Amino acid sequence: MAKLNLENKWILITGASGGLGKSIARYLAQNEKANLVLSARRIEQLQQLKEEIETSSNSKVLYIQTDLSKRDDVEKLFHEAVKIADIDAIINNAGITYYGLTDINHFETFETIIDVNMKALMWLTLRFLEYFKEKGNGAILNITSEAGLIPTPYQTVYSASKHAAQVFTEAIRAENRKSGVIISSFAPGGIATEMLTKSGLDKKHGMDSPFNMNPDVVARLAVKSFKKKKFISVPGFLNKLTVCVARFLPRRFIAFSSERVYRPL
């Protein structure tokens, strides 16, 4: 199977203002010579990333300020993206989490997590799938999570949203396997990004923990698996081992073990 050629292609990346999205944008520009449409809430970071990439590469960069927790913004992102560029691929990377005891007092936060991690990803996947079918080609990469493959206490809603995103991506790929549109998923474990510090996870597993991979390394692996059109890819030996072992152990044991790993200090 021929690899995806991303050179001079226009790729839309959500959640591109920091973390893995930022690293993916840099890698695509510097190593794949792709052109980018960047999306995130923080416009100053998008402007800075645009300047950085265009200064260090020949890639063209456009950006759209978007809050994916708002349905109107999700729709606006699609319409503006296809208006300003001939989009060839989308990487649904945006995601948020909450770390702590799951209780009713944080339900509004949980709703936002579901809106961003699941609903926005599903809507953009379906909208761009339709767009790419009409165009005759295209590719979609959904960034899910190892937490979508293994129940993760104290990040329960994040884990549930990523599980939904994972099985949705697998099923929608199966439905459209003869459409000519590539649909892939990439399920990383912990990554040493600002998501850890914002959620407080860094207090349990620090940025230098073996549980957390370098975002630039993860970005490279994400793009490589996307180019190979992989059904699903889990980066990192420890993550691969965890997912593999979990398939053969009782789910109760996996959940209880995961609770001990993530139990707040």
Residues catalogued as catalytic = 158, 162
Greatest extent of the chain over all pairs of C-alpha atoms, in Å:
52
Residues 6+ apart with CB under 8 A from 173: 183, 184, 185, 231
Distance CA 192, CA 94 (A): 16
Residue 190 to residues 206, 215, 239, 260, Cα–Cα distance (Å): 10, 9, 9, 16
Distance CA 187, CA 144 (A): 5
Distance CA 225, CA 228 (A): 5
Cβ-count burial 12-42 (b if 16+ within 10 Å, e if not): bbbbbbbbbbbbbbbbbbeebebbbbbbbbe
Q: How many CA atoms lie within 13 A of 153 on its CB side?
A: 15
